[in-house]
Amino acid sequence: MEITRREVLGGIGGLALVVAATPTATPSAFTATVPWKYAKLDLGAVAERGYAAYSQGGCMFGAFEGVIGELRATVGSPYDAFPAAMMKYGKAGAAGWGTLCGALNGAAAAISLVAKPEVADALIHTLYTWYGETPLPNYAPKTPKFKIATSTANSPLCHVSVTRWCEATGLKALSPERADRCGQLTASVAKRTVELLNDMADGKTVAAPAVVAEVVTCLGCHGKGGVLENVHASRGNACSICHEPTGHPIALKK
Amino acid sequence: MEITRREVLGGIGGLALVVAATPTATPSAFTATVPWKYAKLDLGAVAERGYAAYSQGGCMFGAFEGVIGELRATVGSPYDAFPAAMMKYGKAGAAGWGTLCGALNGAAAAISLVAKPEVADALIHTLYTWYGETPLPNYAPKTPKFKIATSTANSPLCHVSVTRWCEATGLKALSPERADRCGQLTASVAKRTVELLNDMADGKTVAAPAVVAEVVTCLGCHGKGGVLENVHASRGNACSICHEPTGHPIALKK
């Protein structure tokens, strides 16, 4: 027996509100599968949303919310059902541990929600390579707390990225300027993420950059099939950000 | 006008299926807010599910799915609506970049979905401290591919964790044994995560461990208020995992 919504609404007035809220598919079947449908977003709106969200929940939440919050605002379902606040854990390199930059963690989570796995992998590699090579932040919010000078991290790690910025500016790691730097960096990462996703939506080929030459050289011995195959990482901005490239056994740089 | 489910089901037999599927709140209002309700889980079931999921989507997905998949199986809604496959991005330290161990990333994401932010922060700090100090993997699956020797990472980073295991075992970073080591480590992390979450559910106080003495000492100069406040990380297993602790300017160890 099949009953249309029109028959239901026409026949039982008192139930209209309840029945109107019934989805055409169960929520689980609709939302549990990735990728979710992406719609092109406005870069400036994403960056501003990411900057504002940083103040509410840190860098990972900021980058994720910049993208997914804008999809929630413009597309609605199923994005309105996603518990974006769960991404607050990634702040300061994951709960203060200084590992993966939270903006990069949140951006990767957003990418993985809206792109097929192989596309997501290429986009994340592209984003991380860009992050390490680019003077950041490169987006200035409409109402910034400070005017922020840039630095180049040469690493996706929070600890390295922040310390390099402190060295470049002479400012302190727990200063309000550094907090705002990370907010503007979060906005910059969210904006770059949506540039990549908009290209994807336009059907442009996602061409992930080649792994940088230095990393390829090191992996020649330390990667798959090398004489000392002891490194699992296949990508990076540089090995020499930590390791002294001349002389073996290698020393770690100051 | 208020209509109970019993009245609806009793009065309109043909609508029973539709009405029974109607949530009491809209899906978005129900699922977009954290924390989601946690129910105590069986440690062995979580570990086995995490081990199996590692083979399907890598370490971050494995740890997340170990916990959240078990909640999906035992609790159902709203966990059946979560797109767990989005967590595949974290493999090998995030898309092969060797940063935050994906098992730790996925575990933190799961924790943040089911715990209040301040509790999640303490649980993640507890988990990461344990990960660095404990010989892992410490859970052997029922049907492992290999018998795996342990190593102690002293770091939450994928690159460091894997290379230390290679050094401890003499095995290769891209070997099937190393892949299975990471699968068993994923199971170990998922199991430890649920030990912590079950304690939370039992109302036990979450007492995050103190930051280790060496890190506290270094932050005395490099942290908040120090003479060279250039480090944003507030937690870690050790600074000396990378930095030579004697002599300044510091050298990085080999």
Burial A45-83 (b: 16+ CB within 10 A, else e): bbbbbbbbbbeebbbbbbbbbbbbbbbbeebeebbbbbb
Distance, first Cα to last Cα, chain A = 74
| Secondary structure class of B109 (helix, strand, coil) | helix
Q: Are A248 and A161 in contact (CB under 8 A)?
A: no
pLDDT at B12: 37
* CB atoms A167 and B121 under 8 Å: no
Q: Is the pLDDT of residue B6 over 50?
A: no
Longest dimension (CA), chain B: 82
Which of A32, A92, A100 shows the shortest C-beta gap to B232? A92
pLDDT at A241: 85
* CB atoms B105 and A95 under 8 Å: no
pLDDT at B1: 37
Instruction: Give the pLDDT mean for B12-25.
Output: 38
Give the whole-angstrom CA distance, residue A123 versus residue A107. Answer: 10
ipTM: 0.88
The pTM score is 0.88
Per-residue model confidence as pLDDT tens digits over B92-148: 999 999 999 999 999 999 999 999 999 999 999 999 999 999 999 999 999 999 999
Residue B239, min C-alpha distance to chain A (Å): 11
H or E stretch at B10: helix B5-11
Residue A174: list chain B partners with CB under 8 A. 223-225, 229, 232
Q: Token match 């302190």: residue?
A: A172
Residue B96 zone, left/alpha/beta (φ > 0; ψ -120 to 50; rest): left
Q: Which of A1, A186, A230 to mutate to test the interface with B (most CBs of B within 10 A)?
A: A230
- What are the residues facing B151 on neighbouring strands? B136
* CB atoms A84 and B26 under 8 Å: no
Residue B115, min C-alpha distance to chain A (Å): 9
Residue A142, min C-alpha distance to chain B (Å): 26
Residue B223, min C-alpha distance to chain A (Å): 7
Percent of chain B exceeding pLDDT 90 equals: 78
CA B233 to chain centre: 19
Q: Is the pLDDT of residue B174 over 90?
A: yes
Name which residue leads in pLDDT, B10 or B65: B65
Longest dimension (CA), chain A: 83
Q: Which two tokens stand for residue A40?
A: 């092109």
Give the whole-angstrom CA distance, residue B108 versus residue B130. Answer: 13
- What are the residues facing A157 on neighbouring strands? A100
Give the whole-angstrom CA distance, residue B44 versus residue A174. Answer: 42
Give the whole-angstrom CA distance, residue A85 versus residue A163. Answer: 27
Residue A243: list chain B partners with CB under 8 A. 252
* CB atoms B8 and A15 under 8 Å: yes
Residue type, A97: W
Tens of pLDDT, residue by residue, chain A (254 residues): 344 433 333 333 333 333 333 444 444 555 789 999 999 999 999 999 999 999 999 999 999 999 999 999 999 999 999 999 999 999 999 999 999 999 999 999 999 999 999 999 999 999 999 999 999 999 999 999 999 999 999 999 999 999 999 999 999 999 999 999 999 999 999 999 999 999 999 999 877 899 999 999 999 999 999 999 999 999 999 998 888 766 666 556 54
A83 Cβ contact partners less than 8 Å away, ≥ 6 residues apart = B31, B32, B33, B34, B36, B113
B204 Cβ contact partners less than 8 Å away, ≥ 6 residues apart = none
Q: Is the pLDDT of residue B59 over 60?
A: yes
Q: Is the pLDDT of residue B20 over 80?
A: no
- Positive/negative CA dihedral, A62, A66, A70, A76: negative
* CB atoms B83 and A251 under 8 Å: no
pLDDT at A250: 59
